Amino acid sequence: NAGVTQTPKFQVLKTGQSMTLQCAQDMNHNSMYWYRQDPGMGLRLIYYSASEGTTDKGEVPNGYNVSRLNKREFSLRLESAAPSQTSVYFCASRLGQGGQPQHFGDGTRLSIL
């Protein structure tokens, strides 16, 4: 039982490059979340998805896009990476729609030079 799986675990990008962070859950959860974690700031919600095909902006959506094409997967895309997006990114999920996340992935550590 894998839970929430994020790929890649580590990535280094140059400013202006694009990339997609992948997230998949095998618990048949409805809600999925993307957070970023920065030193001294706790976690901040980037985007949220209550179900397949629906997404909502969180606190810090600028510079990111998301896609929830099916129930299992929720991807986060950086179209043109900036150094300010250097962070640790966490995907999370929840069985119900709405409320707090229950399960988190192990994170993707992203550095943008």
Partner 1 sequence: AQSVTQLDSQVPVFEEAPVELRCNYSSSVSVYLFWYVQYPNQGLQLLLKYLSGSTLVKGINGFEAEFNKSQTSFHLRKPSVHISDTAEYFCAVRFEGGGNKLTFGTGTQLKVEL
Q: What are the backbone angles phi and psi of residue 108, rounded to the nearest 5°? A: -120, 120
Least distance to partner 1 from the beta carbon of 100, Å?
A: 5
Using the contact rule CB under 8 A, the part of the chain among 14-22, 35-43, 61-69, 72-80 near partner 1 is: 35-43
Cα separation, 31 vs 97, whole angstroms: 5
Nearer to partner 1, 14 or 99 (CB): 99
Nearer to partner 1, 28 or 42 (CB): 42
* Nearest to partner 1 of 27, 45 (CB atom): 45
Q: Is 104 in the site for partner 1 (CB under 8 A)?
A: yes
d(CA 49, CA 70): 11
User: Locate tokens 């998949």: which residue?
Assistant: 24
Q: Under a CB-based contact definition with an 8 Å cutoff, are residues 11 and 22 in contact?
A: no
Instruction: Tell me, residue by residue from 64 to 83, as one string, x for binding to partner 1 by CB under 8 A and - for no binding.
Output: --------------------
Q: Is residue 101 a contact residue for partner 1 (CB under 8 A)?
A: yes
* # of chain residues touching partner 1 (CB under 8 A): 26
Beta bridge partners of 25: 4
Of the CA atoms within 13 Å of residue 59, those in its CB half-sphere come to 9
